[in-house]
Amino acid sequence: MSNKKEKNTEYFEANQAHWNKCVLPHAKSDFYDVEGFKKGKTSLNSIELAALGDVKGQSMLHLQCHFGQDSLAWTRMGAKVTGVDFSSTAIELARELNTELALDAEFICTNVYDLKKHLKGQFDIVFTSYGVLGWLPDMDRWAELVAHYLKPGGIFYIVEFHPTYYMIDFDNLQLTYPYFNIEVFKEEVEGSYADRDADITGVEYFWQHSLSEIITALLKNGLQLEQFDEFPYSPYNCFPNMVETSKGKYEVKDHEGNIPLMFELKMKKPL
């Protein structure tokens, strides 16, 4: 067990170093369009906007917030947001944007699994999105945190890439990884989803999580399922071989409508 913990620490450190390298290229990328964001454009997509609706006056914990654009977008809509990420470069930039835009979000730099050492209290909403679960080895510990930080009656919402798509090597569309969480994977990476030509190289470690693993972990921690959907598109053109099938919807070329790319889950902590 302690050996497993030590191994995870090694993986987290490598991932943290890699994410730190990604932040500045991401901030310069068209993908994140920071200039547009500063001028008032939202970074949120219609799917999460529709799912959470009016967040005015709601307290929100945003897990794995990267450099905080989505946290700040919810803040602009009137939520009181606390964003969490373990990349110090990301949190530094999130705080700079918060100050520059005269907003009142708060940002905490920590591994999500260590959050209880840094944050007390409970929230109306816990939110996390797009590219988050694969960096976490243990869904039970993660779900326990989600439930811990929700007020009774509070809502957990996740919109995430679909685990079935993570079985595939994106470059050649070959079935490469297992569906189930049986081991950690190591990948040498170049560039990033936000800018494939960015001068970023490094190593990342990730884990596969089946839908049943994710949902069961949340149910076991007392949350009730309100909404579960799967989609054949992504709002981001962030994988190779994608085609825009309608405005802002990207699907796998030659497999339009056939491959799940995203899922959303809305769950409630009972009163």
Ligand X SMILES: C[S@@+](CC[C@H](N)C(=O)[O-])C[C@H]1O[C@@H](n2cnc3c(N)ncnc32)[C@H](O)[C@@H]1O
Q: Which is nearer to ligand X, 69 or 98 (CB)?
A: 69
Pick the closer one to ligand X by CB: 170 or 258: 170
- Is the Cβ of residue 46 or residue 224 nearer to ligand X in the bound state? 46
Tell me whether residue 154 or residue 235 sits nearer to ligand X (CB atom): 235
CB of 270 to ligand X, least distance (A): 27
The enclosing H or E element of 108 equals strand 106-109
| Interface residue list for ligand X (CB under 6 A) | 12, 15, 19, 64, 66, 69-70, 85-87, 90, 111-112, 129-132, 135-136
Cβ 66 to ligand X shortest distance, Å: 3
State in angstroms the smallest separation of the CB of 94 from ligand X.
Answer: 9
Query: Closest-CB residue for ligand X?
Result: 131
Q: For Cα atoms 188, 194, 200, give the angle at the middle one, nearest 5 degrees.
A: 40
Least distance in Å: CB of 264 to ligand X?
13
Angstrom distance (rounded) from CA 157 to CA 154: 10
Where does the chain have alpha helices with state H? 2-28, 34-38, 46-52, 69-76, 88-100, 139-149, 211-220
Phi/psi zone of residue 121: left (φ > 0), alpha (ψ -120 to 50 degrees), beta? Answer: left
Q: What is the dihedral of CA 213, 214, 220, 222, to 10 degrees?
A: -170
Q: How far apart are CA 38 and CA 99, in angstroms?
A: 11
User: Is the CB of 183 or the CB of 254 nearer to ligand X?
Assistant: 183
CB of 90 to ligand X, least distance (A): 5
